[in-house]
Amino acid sequence: MYSLLPVIIADVSPYYAYQNSDGMGRAIVILLFIGSIITWTIMIDKGYSLFKAKRNSELFIDKFRADKSIVAFIREADMCRGPLAEVYEHGTEKLIEYNKFTPEELVASPHQNMRKVKLSEAQLEAVRAVLEREVSNQVMKLEERIGLLATAVSVSPFFGLFGTVWGVMMAFCGLAAQGKADIAALAPGVSGALLTTVVGMMVAIPSLIGYNLLTITIRKITVYMDNFVEEFIARVKLEQLED
């Protein structure tokens, strides 16, 4: 009885199904396994970078709203690097270009120097265009490799289904070649065929959850940047109106 125990364990393990898969089924399982490694790498790396970007963006906007001058905030912008800081820097560079002062002069006395040059509506729209262009650039950076994750979500189940249909077809072909219906001969082939669907689901389900979480975070950061553009322009107009 003790000698049969390893055989029983092998018979009910996924490795038993893999052993009874044909070349096509094994290739699909290996391909899905590699895809799983890639998707988990993307999810972990993007999850960490997006979490850091979201945290820094929230910290940045809190500090920006507490500061009294746009240009004087340059000194604190480096402390919370992120998408919002990049948008801010491009907008500030455009302001410095129009005011024709060095960053050091503006930081030293931002209110006094900013009042010396009144921006026209065309110049304000140019500043807005620079901000919106940088927002688009930051969104593209945030969405890098997200498309690959979405592809894994949609393609993995189809690979698994293809492997299952192929394996069942080959199992029935083998059964027809024997000329008799024998469950003992059919079961190994069917188990190997179903393995590809199981592996496909194991790749698709975590990828779908990770994709949704990542896209929600990207959407939040995008909203932060869009709101910041309006807040930046409004702050410039207010500073222009101050005595």
In this predicted structure, what is the pLDDT of residue 48?
A: 92
pLDDT-based confidence at residue 179 (cuts at 50, 70, 90): low
* Residue written as token pair 């024709």: 100
Cα three-residue angle 211-217-219, rounded to 5 degrees: 100
- Please count the CA atoms within 13 angstroms of the CA of 185 that sit on its side-chain side: 13
In this predicted structure, what is the pLDDT of residue 214?
A: 93
CA distance 187 to 175: 10
Closest CA to 197 of 8, 61, 17, 4: 17
Q: Is residue 26 part of a domain?
A: no
In this predicted structure, what is the pLDDT of residue 2?
A: 40
In this predicted structure, what is the pLDDT of residue 225?
A: 92
How many CB atoms are closer than 10 A to CB 185? 14
Q: Is residue 12 part of a domain?
A: no
In this predicted structure, what is the pLDDT of residue 98?
A: 73
In this predicted structure, what is the pLDDT of residue 6?
A: 42
CA distance 30 to 42: 19
In this predicted structure, what is the pLDDT of residue 88?
A: 85
Q: Is residue 56 part of a domain?
A: yes
Q: Is residue 28 part of a domain?
A: no
Q: Is residue 13 part of a domain?
A: no
Q: Is residue 115 part of a domain?
A: yes
CA distances from 161 to 39, 120, 182 (A): 19, 62, 24
Domain membership of residue 54 as a residue range: 39-241
Q: What digits encode the pLDDT tens for the residues 202-222? A: 889 999 999 999 999 999 999
Counting the structural domains of the chain, the total is 1
Q: What digits encode the pLDDT tens for the residues 188-207? A: 777 777 888 888 888 899 99
Q: Is residue 5 part of a domain?
A: no
Q: Is residue 1 part of a domain?
A: no
What is the biggest distance separating any 2 CA atoms in the chain, rounded to whole angstroms?
98
User: Of the segments 160-164, 222-226, 239-243, which one has the largest average pLDDT value?
Assistant: 222-226
% of the chain beyond a pLDDT of 70: 72
What dihedral do alpha carbons 24, 30, 36, 37 form, nearest 10°? -160
Q: What digits encode the pLDDT tens for the residues 70-117? A: 666 666 666 677 888 888 888 888 877 777 665 555 555 555 555 456
What dihedral do alpha carbons 230, 236, 237, 240 form, nearest 10°? 180
Q: What digits encode the pLDDT tens for the residues 136-152? A: 999 999 988 898 888 88
